[in-house]
Structure 1
Amino acid sequence: MSGARPTSLRHAMAHFATGVTVVTTLEDGHDHAMTANSVTSVSLDPPLVLVCVQQDSGWHDAVVSSGVWGVSILPVGARPTATWLSTGGRPLYGQLSGIAHHRGELGVALVDDALATLECRTTALHEAGDHTIVVGEVLSSLADARRDDPLIYYRSRYTSTR
Structure 2
Amino acid sequence: MHHGSIERHLDRETYRKVVGRFATGVVIVTTRVGDVDHAMTVNSFTSVSLDPLLVLFCAEKVARFHDAVLESGVWGVSVLPAGMRDASQFFAHRGRPLNGQLARWPHHRGGSGVALFDAALATVECDTHAVYPGGDHSIIVGAVTGLGMPAEGPPLIYHDGAYKNL
Structure-2 separation of matches of 1:33 and 1:148: 22
Instruction: Say if 2:83 is the partner of 1:77.
Output: yes
Match of 2:23 among 13, 17, 24: 17
Structure-2 separation of matches of 1:7 and 1:53: 20
State the identity %: 49
Match of 2:156 among 151, 154, 160: 151
Counterpart of 2:114 in structure 1: which amino acid? V
Structure-1 separation of matches of 2:125 and 2:137: 21
State the TM-score, normalized to the length of structure 2.
0.92
Alignment of 1:71-110 (within 5 A): 71-110=77-116
Structure-1 separation of matches of 2:158 and 2:74: 25
Aligned position for 2:71: 65
Aligned position for 2:40: 34
Q: Which runs of 4+ in 1 moved over 4 A?
A: none
Aligned position for 1:135: 141
| Aligned Cα root-mean-square deviation (Å) | 1.4
Which SS does the other structure have where 2:54 is aligned? strand
Match of 2:59 among 53, 56, 80: 53
**Unmatched segments (≥5 aa) in structure 2:** 1-7
Counterpart of 1:6 in structure 2: which amino acid? R
State the TM-score, normalized to the length of structure 1.
0.94
Counterpart of 2:96 in structure 1: which amino acid? R
Structure-1 separation of matches of 2:33 and 2:113: 10
Which SS does the other structure have where 1:123 is aligned? strand
- Decide which moves more: 131-140 or 147-156: 147-156
Structure-1 separation of matches of 2:22 and 2:107: 29
Structure-2 separation of matches of 1:47 and 1:27: 24
1:137-158 superposed Cα distances (whole Å, 9 cap, x missing partner): 01111125x8240000011111
Aligned position for 2:50: 44
